[in-house]
Structure 1
Amino acid sequence: MKMVCSDITSLTNWKRVFEYAIDHSTSFSIVFPEGEPDDENPLLTGKSDFLRLEEVTVNTWDGMADSIIVSGRLCNEALNTFRKYMTPSFSNEGALLWHFDLFNEMNPVMSISDFHVCILHLDQQALDVMKQENLSLETFDFM
């Protein structure tokens, strides 16, 4: 089942939703435009840090001209990198990462696009765990 929230900064429990997703994920992919990091282009935020992670693969991304997708295992260094760039979104400052996906093995867990749109991919077990942890999804819509 897919659920979408069009603006993560509107979620009072966004930090808990993010932590749930990252705790239940084993790998990631993140998209950046090609080229050197540039402070003027927010789509490039974090690119250098993600490219420095061990054992990542870099491929062309078909979703946008002149862009790459960086994929890898969600090791401690990758977790810390995601937390570094997503922490501002917990206090309504907005997310700094433009487009990424988290996976548990090959199954999607969460997708972020356009900095603020969140899609959760939940099975019944995930819904039950979220309910047990009092993690409200009332601002999410079913897709």
Structure 2
Amino acid sequence: DFRPHDEHYVQNFVLVTHGLLMRIFCMCYFRWTVLEFDQVWNPQNCEIWVLEKTKKGRYRLAGSWQEESKSFGPIKFGADKTKLLYPHMKESTPARDMVPGKPGWLDDPALRHLVVAAQFGKGIGVNKELGSLG
């Protein structure tokens, strides 16, 4: 860790990558599930996704930078690209304890969207009663 008064301190980091790698980076950092990852669309050429540092020293996905309006727009999400990311997908969180098939495994509010995943994806859904994918 560098302190602000350290001569080697850097205020910003810039990652220049392909869209798929941007999604993979976010999946790892924000602990997205595979179903969540599959619903996030690759950014367009030269699209900028911004992660802002929080007071806790972690990063939050602010959104897609819109140069024209000088503001953040939504990340394209869902089958028709019009859904908003779930709030937990923008925040760095501790690992999610999830055991498929265990009673109550989808009761966590951060995982509740998996129950209705079939309406967003094509042919992939979660059967809550059986606790299985299918």
TM > 0.5? no
More strand by share: 1
TM-score by length of 1: 0.25
More helix by share: 1
Larger radius of gyration: 2
